[in-house]
């Protein structure tokens, strides 16, 4: 909380929450939340945990060139990572699961962070694909989409596509041409101070080792396929939770909502993506003709259903393992900075 980045995220979250709630009738919102059929959350949470299991399998697949680790072993670590993302700022859960993986399996943190980065790039590509599948709907929806100003979701989607696809192509090339990439890194490292040169180069080489799963086109496509399954399962949760509320939109509309809100959560925010998840989700549903209070009630309940179960499960697994966030994590962070991992 002493870092300015934390407070920037809090301010951004507060701003988005204001946009979401400013024009709502709070009494009607409360009635919507109270009258929801919450038993629909049970199949929604179940299908979401199935998606988390597929995430663990995907990470196992990415790490397989480094070390074969069973999906059963990976699942608790993935759950701990999501818990960390939900309660710590700046997606600190990604570092947390990389550190725990090193402690359990001996895989260098820099290499596992490379696989996590690849996961996020594939996630971004699939989220953008969800948006573009519904591009015809986007032309029908308002440009404003309730987010304030003259914001065009299509423009955001095109810009985001350029970023994520460029990143994916870059890492694919690094994976397919490791020797050439290492030569370039060696040349670039000459610009760093002599004391840091060898350490930075060692970390970069270990980072490249985490990209080995991308060297095969078949494996790269398999990672993409599992990513699609993951996000379809998460959209299925959106669909189940929708039945708890008095509205109905198509599964494709929920795919669009899923894509938009998860792209928005890449913005800095308070822990748990407060505001950056809710405001775009409400805006998409309102653009589809859903009453604002119902859209807000659904989005807030959905956000809670995405946050609480995986956070509680991750906390359970976290308390069962010996590594702790304070001194243990800080010592591993120092190891990263000194090039010891």
pLDDT 10s per residue in the chain (341 long)? 567 677 888 899 899 888 888 888 999 999 999 999 999 999 999 999 999 999 999 999 889 888 899 999 999 999 999 999 999 877 888 999 999 999 888 898 888 988 998 898 889 888 888 887 776 676 666 544 444 333 455 666 666 667 777 887 888 888 788 888 888 888 787 787 777 777 777 777 777 777 887 887 888 888 999 999 999 999 999 999 999 999 999 999 999 899 888 888 888 888 889 999 999 899 889 888 899 999 999 999 999 999 999 999 999 999 987 766 555 555 555 554 444 44
Phi, psi values for residue 155, rounded to 5°: -65, -40
Q: For the whole model, what pTM was predicted?
A: 0.83
Alpha-carbon distance 219 to 208, whole Å? 16
Alpha-carbon distance 140 to 224, whole Å? 29
Measure the CA angle with vertex 214, ends 51 and 273; round to 5°: 40
């Amino acid at each position: 909380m002493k870092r300015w980045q934390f407070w920037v995220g809090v301010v951004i979250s507060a701003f988005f929450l204001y946009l979401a709630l400013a024009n709502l009738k709070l009494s009607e919102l409360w009635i919507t939340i109270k009258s929801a059929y919450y038993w629909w959350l049970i199949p929604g949470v179940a299908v979401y945990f199935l998606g988390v299991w597929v995430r663990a399998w995907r990470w196992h697949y990415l790490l397989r060139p480094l070390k074969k680790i069973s999906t059963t072993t990976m699942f608790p670590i993935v759950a701990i990572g999501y818990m960390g993302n939900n309660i710590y700022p700046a997606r600190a859960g990604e570092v947390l699961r990389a550190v725990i993986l090193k402690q359990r399996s001996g895989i260098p943190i820099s290499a596992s962070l490379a696989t996590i980065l690849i996961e996020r790039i594939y996630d971004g590509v699939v989220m953008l694909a969800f948006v573009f599948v519904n591009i015809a709907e986007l032309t029908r929806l308002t440009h404003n989409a309730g987010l304030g100003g003259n914001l065009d979701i299509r423009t955001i989607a095109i810009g985001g596509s350029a970023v994520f696809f460029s990143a994916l192509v870059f890492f694919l090339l690094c994976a397919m041409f490791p020797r050439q990439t290492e030569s370039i890194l060696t040349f670039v490292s000459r610009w760093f101070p002599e004391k840091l040169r060898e350490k930075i180069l060692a970390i970069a080489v270990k980072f490249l080792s985490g990209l080995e799963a991308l060297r095969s086109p078949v494996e790269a496509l398999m990672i993409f396929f599992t990513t699609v399954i993951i996000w379809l399962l998460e959209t299925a949760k959106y669909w189940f939770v929708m039945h708890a509320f008095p509205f109905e939109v198509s599964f494709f509309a929920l795919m669009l909502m899923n894509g938009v809100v998860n792209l928005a959560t890449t913005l800095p925010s308070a822990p748990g993506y407060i505001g950056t998840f809710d405001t775009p989700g409400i805006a998409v549903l309102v653009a589809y003709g859903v009453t604002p209070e119902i859209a807000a009630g659904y989005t807030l309940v959905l956000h809670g259903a995405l946050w609480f179960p995986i956070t509680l499960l991750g906390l359970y697994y976290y308390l069962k393992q010996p590594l702790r966030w304070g001194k243990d994590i800080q010592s591993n962070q120092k190891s990263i900075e000194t090039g010891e991992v």
